[in-house]
């Protein structure tokens, strides 16, 4: 790999891509060229990165010539088709989609938890977990390293930007229709006001919560819930970990929150858990409810770490901890994690 590797951002115009360009402008600059790639619809647009305007090029084989590392922030099917093309042209691919996360020969990496896994990538691809897993996994990983995780129950409060630009536009449009009204008090009144166009969501999301994300899997589970289960197991290296998750969309623009009930191998103490979380890289402990301190999306948005609050030991089980965790789904939940993986790969001894 060259001293200053060439980076490609595939999907530079999307919700994740936009935040990634901002991050690349803020983080230590280790890159040579940064090439911006999107669909032909966006070719020719100019986007700012590292203080310069860079022209977006359309996705093609040639777009990967000379690229050392390619970050993919595009829909699953686009990544499935094009990541192998980028690898064939000599790039290492860091993929943010769901296309490769379940492949045994593609490592699934969270640099704070399993950085070593990025080294072994027989297909030249490293995958990054989905944003709901990433919202909690750094905090969970730190607790697991000390206490040994035995069982996980979690419920999510997922932001609309998890569904990309279309999700954000849908919430903003619906909010404009319901704000300043008395809506939200009669059956179906919100639905009638926002109309049939619910965007990427199956129900109106303004003044509502929607207990569904993704596509239907077996036995009533959603694909989002299955992803959180499988990816948490893979990243923590606990292939049999019992995981029960319910994924729910809420009218928040950015930042996923998760309530976590985690049982460990042995008795835990809140004092020791606080020490672990207060010193874990990538985690901020924000937990003094009597003083009004707990994380909320409104405060966490735009920040890098996983924020943890509401830390308690279960009253009836000395082996269980409760947490409320917030993470910016466009930062640690996607763009930041892939940027960190790219830096890991770029920093490998030649």
Ligand X SMILES: NC(=O)c1ccc[n+]([C@@H]2O[C@H](COP(=O)([O-])OP(=O)(O)OC[C@H]3O[C@@H](n4cnc5c(N)ncnc54)[C@H](OP(=O)(O)O)[C@@H]3O)[C@@H](O)[C@H]2O)c1
Q: Is 86 annotated as a binding residue?
A: no
Binding marks (x or -) toward ligand X, 62..101, rule CB under 6 A?
A: -----------xxxx-x-----------------xx----
Q: Please give the full DSSP string across 277-289, using - where no structure is assigned.
A: HHHSTTEEE--BG
Q: Is 286 a catalytic residue?
A: no
Nearest residue by C-beta to ligand X? 14
Place of tokens 């990544």: 79
8 Å CB contact between 64 and 33 = no
User: Considering only residues 150-209, where is the footprint of ligand X by CB under 6 A?
Assistant: 161-162, 164-165
- From the list 33-41, 105-113, 184-192, 258-266, the region that binds ligand X by CB under 6 A is 33-41
8 Å CB contact between 38 and 58 = yes
Which residues have CB under 8 Å from 287's CB, separation 6+? Answer: 274, 293, 294, 308, 309, 310, 311
Residue 219: CB minimum distance to ligand X, A = 23
List 144, 256, 286, 326, catalytic entry? 256
Q: Is 329 in the site for ligand X (CB under 6 A)?
A: yes
The distance between the two most distant Cα atoms of the chain, rounded to a whole number of Å, is: 64
Q: Which does 155 bind (CB under 5 to 8 A by kind): a copy of itself, ligand X, none?
A: a copy of itself
Q: Is 338 in the site for ligand X (CB under 6 A)?
A: no
Place of tokens 């060229």: 33
- From the list 28-36, 237-245, 271-279, 327-335, the region that binds ligand X by CB under 6 A is 327-335
Range list of β-strands (E), 2-51: 7-10, 34-38, 46-49
Q: Which does 41 bind (CB under 5 to 8 A by kind): ligand X, a copy of itself, none?
A: ligand X
Residue 311: CB minimum distance to a copy of itself, A = 6
Residue 265: CB minimum distance to ligand X, A = 31
Q: Between residues 100 and 264, which has the closer beta carbon with respect to ligand X?
A: 100
Q: Which residues of 323-348 are buried (b: 16+ CB within 10 A; e: fewer)?
A: bbbbbbbbbbbbbbbbbbbbebbbee
Residue 311 tokens read as: 């830390």
Q: Is 256 a catalytic residue?
A: yes
Q: Which does 162 bind (CB under 5 to 8 A by kind): ligand X, a copy of itself, none?
A: ligand X
Q: At what angle do helices 336-346 and 15-26 cross, to 10 degrees?
A: 50
List 131, 247, 286, 326, catalytic entry? 131
Distance, CA of 289 to CA of 279 (rounded, Å): 20
Residue 135: CB minimum distance to ligand X, A = 10
Residue 271 tokens read as: 């004092």
Positions that interact with ligand X (CB under 6 A): 11-17, 38-39, 41-42, 59, 73-76, 78, 96-97, 130-131, 161-162, 164-165, 329-330, 333-334
Residues noted as catalytic: 131, 256
């Amino acid at each position: 790999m060259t001293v200053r590797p060439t980076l490609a951002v595939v999907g530079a115009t999307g919700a994740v891509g936009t935040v990634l360009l901002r991050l690349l402008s803020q983080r230590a600059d280790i890159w040579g060229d940064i090439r911006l790639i999107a669909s032909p619809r966006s070719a020719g647009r100019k986007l700012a990165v590292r203080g310069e305007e860079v022209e977006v090029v359309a996705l093609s084989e040639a777009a990967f010539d000379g690229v050392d590392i390619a970050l993919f922030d595009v829909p699953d099917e686009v990544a499935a088709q094009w990541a192998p093309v980028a690898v064939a042209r000599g790039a290492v691919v860091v993929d943010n989609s769901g296309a490769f996360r379940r492949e045994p020969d593609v490592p699934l990496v969270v640099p704070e938890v399993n950085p070593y896994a990025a080294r072994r990538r027989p297909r030249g691809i490293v995958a990054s977990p989905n944003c709901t897993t990433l919202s909690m996994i750094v905090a969970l990983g730190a607790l697991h390293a000390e206490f040994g995780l035995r069982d996980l129950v979690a419920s999510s409060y997922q932001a609309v930007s998890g569904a990309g630009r279309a999700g954000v536009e849908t919430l903003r449009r619906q909010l404009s229709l319901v704000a300043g009204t008395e809506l939200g008090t009669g059956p179906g009144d919100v639905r009638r006001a926002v109309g049939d166009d619910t965007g990427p969501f199956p129900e109106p999301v303004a003044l509502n919560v929607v207990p569904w994300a993704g596509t239907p899997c077996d036995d009533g589970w959603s694909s989002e819930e299955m992803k959180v289960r499988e990816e948490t197991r893979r990243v923590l290296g606990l292939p049999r970990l019992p995981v029960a998750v319910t994924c729910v969309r809420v009218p928040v623009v950015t930042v996923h929150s998760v309530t976590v009930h985690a049982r460990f191998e042995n008795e835990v103490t809140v004092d020791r858990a606080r020490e672990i979380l207060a010193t874990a890289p990538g985690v901020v402990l924000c937990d003094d409810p009597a003083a009004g301190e707990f994380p909320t999306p409104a405060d966490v948005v735009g920040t890098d770490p996983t924020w943890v609050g509401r830390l308690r030991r279960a009253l009836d089980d000395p082996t269980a901890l409760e947490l409320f965790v917030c993470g910016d789904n466009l930062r640690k939940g996607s763009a930041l994690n892939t940027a960190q993986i790219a830096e890991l790969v770029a920093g490998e001894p030649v």
